[in-house]
Structures are given as structure tokens and as C-alpha cells.
A and B are shown apart, each in its own frame.
Chain A
Amino acid sequence: MDIAHTVSGLILELRRGTLILLVLSQLREPMYGYQLVKRLNDHAVPIDANTLYPLLRRLEGQGLLASSWNTDENKPRKYYQITPEGKQVYNATKTYWQDFSANVDQLLEVDQ
């Protein structure tokens, strides 16, 4: 059994849903993609640009984010911000996450 491969697969699964929650949490103010990459990196949540950019577009397609091009700066940038529907989804998911992670933590502590 390839332990490293199995672990990386599990981590990928764990990160998949969590990243969406984190992205929604940070976009209460408008941000462009690379700004968000750096913000998450600064908080020790590394994410590749080639993962984040498609994710932003997918969330926009689902109506959770809205975007607009800002051409006032010296280079045009696309800014994303959470929509009212996105906020509802975020709040509900955040509550679930907090309960769930607390329960998971408890179980993991018992295991130790």
C-alpha cells in the first residue's frame, strides 16, 4: 500500500469542500484572484492559482459569487464578491462546519 499516495488523496478530499468555505469567508469584500491566493497563503492555507481561478468561476456560475472587471487601475483585474445567496450558503455551511469540526476534534482526542 502506498501510504503517501493514500494520505495525499485523503487530504485532497478534506480540502475540497473546506476551500469553498474559506473562499466564501474571504470574499465579503471584493478581491481579485491572486490577492485571494496570497491571503490564503498568508494564513497557511496554500492553494494553487490553477485550482482557485476555476473554483471562483464555478462559484460564480452557481450564483454564490459575483464578479466585475476593474479597469481603473494600471492593469485590468477581475474582482469577485460574495452574493446575498452566497452569504446564506456560507452562514449555513459555517454553522455546520463549526459543529462538525468540534465533534470530529472530540472524537480524535478520545482516540489519542
Chain B
Amino acid sequence: MNHDLIERYIYAAVKPLPHKIRNDVSRELHGLIDDMLLERCGNMPPTDKDIRVVLAELGTPEEFSEKYNDNTQTALIPQPYYATYLLLLKIVLPVAAGGMALAYLIRYFVEPLDGLTALGEWFAAEVSGLGVAFTVLTAVFAILAQKKVPLSERLMADELPPVPQKDAKIPRWECIGGMVFCAAFAVLFLFLPQLFFVIIDYGSRIPIFSAEGMAESWYLLVAFALFGILREAVKLKHGQYNKTVLTVTAICNFCSAALAIWWLLGGEVLNPDFLAAISSVFSSESAALVGLFEHFQLLFLAVILLALVLDTVEAIVKARWQATEPHTN
């Protein structure tokens, strides 16, 4: 009897299976093939032809193992995750591309670069940035699908939110614009902090922010931008202010505020040369002005916190208004 053929078949059939069941399936498959040969040949020893016929009856090893694998998830990101993944991909990629384009456009007008160099650097940034955005989004959705995390509640008709009134709708452009702004914010501070500068002594440019400081706190900037993008994405998905949008906005803004405080008060954000230059230029004229620049971080933080508070207040007011106003469409 051609044991080798049987062994090869079983090996190929169990190889793609999870390790913990391979041995068990292999033993069971051995028993099955023995039984089928016994059925076919009776007490006669099976020939090679018999073995081939029996193995052909079982189908290819690949078919066999495919049926053992749980066939409910045949794709990396199956439905219903795929629909949301595709929607977010259509938003995130243009937003990332737009954010980087905006940042590099600003850079082109601020820095003395020739067009070809600027174009090349922008293109390289787009390729790597979009690659990272695509990879991260795909990985997140693959994990969500694998863990079967529910993306939304399955609501009955009377539990569905009301159709938003025209005035209560959040315009799509506002959300997408917000996301582009967040992406541009991260790109500018992470890769192009030198674009924020003051001109002292007729042409000498002194960057306000420390490039090293920005590089060291990259994770804070990325997290800050991601919270902003998440907030806008939820607004975009719901299209109106409601309890979910309010909750997500409040949490994202709170986290963003904490990150901004950590970023601006916890590390070396300002360029030491900038502070020295400001002191030397204004020290004789205005101590108050020097003090203002010395506390530039606090001023910057105050602006960010004010914007976050205003955004949260807007969400609270509009969500309450949407909940209490009679809906006439």
C-alpha cells in the first residue's frame, strides 16, 4: 500500500489548520481513509489505484482544510466592517493628502525653495503619509472585524434618531475641513516647525518652536491630531449634534486639552534662540512684551484650550437644542 501518498495527502490537508487541532484531525483523517479503503477493497490489500480513487473522493487537501477553517470570515475586513472601512478610507486618505498638501503649500510660500525640490518633498511626504494612514486604518478594522466589535447599535424604528433639521445639521465640509486642519496641524508641527518664525534684524529668521522638542514629543502631537480627526469623523458620521456626538466631542476635547497641557508645559517646546533674540531686541523697550513672549507657551495653550472649550460648548448647546426643539421637516 502506498502509505507515502496517504501521508502526503494528510500532511497537506492539516498543514493550513491551527496547530492545536492538527494532530487530532490527522488521526481522524487516517481512520477515515482506512475505513474508505476497507469499504472499497474488503480484505484485499488496496492498490495504488484504490488509494488514488479514495483520495480523489475526498477532494484536494486544500478543499479539505478550507472546510475545517471557519468560513464565516473569508476576508480580512468582511461586511459590515468593510462598508465603514471604505467610507473612512474615502475620508481619511483625502484628509491626510489635503493636510499634507496644505502644510507643504504653506512651506513653499514661506521658505525659499525651488519648485522641483518642493514638489519632490511634498510627493515623498504624500506617499509615506498615505501609506501609514492606509496601513493603520486597515489594521484597526482588521482587528475590529477579527474581534467582532459591534460598530453601531441595531436600533428599532422608534429608537432611531430624528431626521436632523436643516439648521441642526453639521455640514460635511465643516467636518472634512476640521480633519484637514488636524492633519495639517500635525504635519506642520512635526515636520515643518521652522515655518513658524520671527524676523529679527532685517531678514534673520528665528524659528519660534524647537525642532528637537517637537521631534521628542511626536507622540503627543500625533495623538492630539488623531483625537481631533476622531471627533470630526463622528460628527461626519452622525451628521447632527446628538448625545453620541456630544459624548465623543467632550471626551476627545478633554483628551486633547490634557495632551496640549502635557505638550506645551511638559517639555522644551520653544526655541531657546527665539527667547534670547526677543530678550535682546525688546528688553530695553518693553519688559511686558518680553514677558509675553517668554510665556508664549502659556498663551498658545490658552488659545488651544479656548478653542476646545468653545467647541464643547457648541456641541452641548446644539445637542440640547436638537433634543428639545420640535422637529418640523
Q: Measuring CB to CB, which residues of chain A are less than 8 angstroms from any residue of chain B? A: 32-34, 38, 48-51, 53-54, 57-58, 69, 75-78
Verify B68–A34 contact, CB threshold 8 A.
Answer: no
Which of A51, A53, A58, A69 contacts B32, CB < 8 Å? A53
Among A32, A50, A51, max chain B CB count under 10 A is at A50
Find chain B residues with CB under 8 A from A54 CB. Answer: 64, 67-68
Find chain B residues with CB under 8 A from A51 CB. Answer: 67
B143: shortest Cβ distance to chain A, in Å? 22
Verify A50–B58 contact, CB threshold 8 A.
Answer: yes
Verify B27–A78 contact, CB threshold 8 A.
Answer: yes
Find chain A residues with CB under 8 A from B57 CB. Answer: 48-49
Looking at chain A's contact residues, the main secondary structure is helix
Verify B59–A78 contact, CB threshold 8 A.
Answer: no
Find chain A residues with CB under 8 A from B24 CB. Answer: 78
Which of B31, B36, B64 contacts A78, CB < 8 Å? B31
A50 to B33, CA, bound (A): 11
**Closest residue to A56 on the B side, CB-wise?**
B28
Find chain A residues with CB under 8 A from B68 CB. Answer: 53-54, 57
A49 to B54, CA, bound (A): 11
**Closest residue to A78 on the B side, CB-wise?**
B28
Instruction: Report if A48-B59 is in contact (Cβ < 8 Å); known contacts: A54-B67, A54-B68, A57-B21.
Output: yes
Find chain B residues with CB under 8 A from A32 CB. Answer: 31
Verify B70–A75 contact, CB threshold 8 A.
Answer: no
Verify A50–B31 contact, CB threshold 8 A.
Answer: no
**Closest residue to B68 on the A side, CB-wise?**
A54
Verify B64–A50 contact, CB threshold 8 A.
Answer: yes
Find chain A residues with CB under 8 A from B39 CB. Answer: 34, 38
Instruction: Report if A76-B63 is in contact (Cβ < 8 Å); known contacts: A50-B58, A53-B32, A57-B21.
Output: no
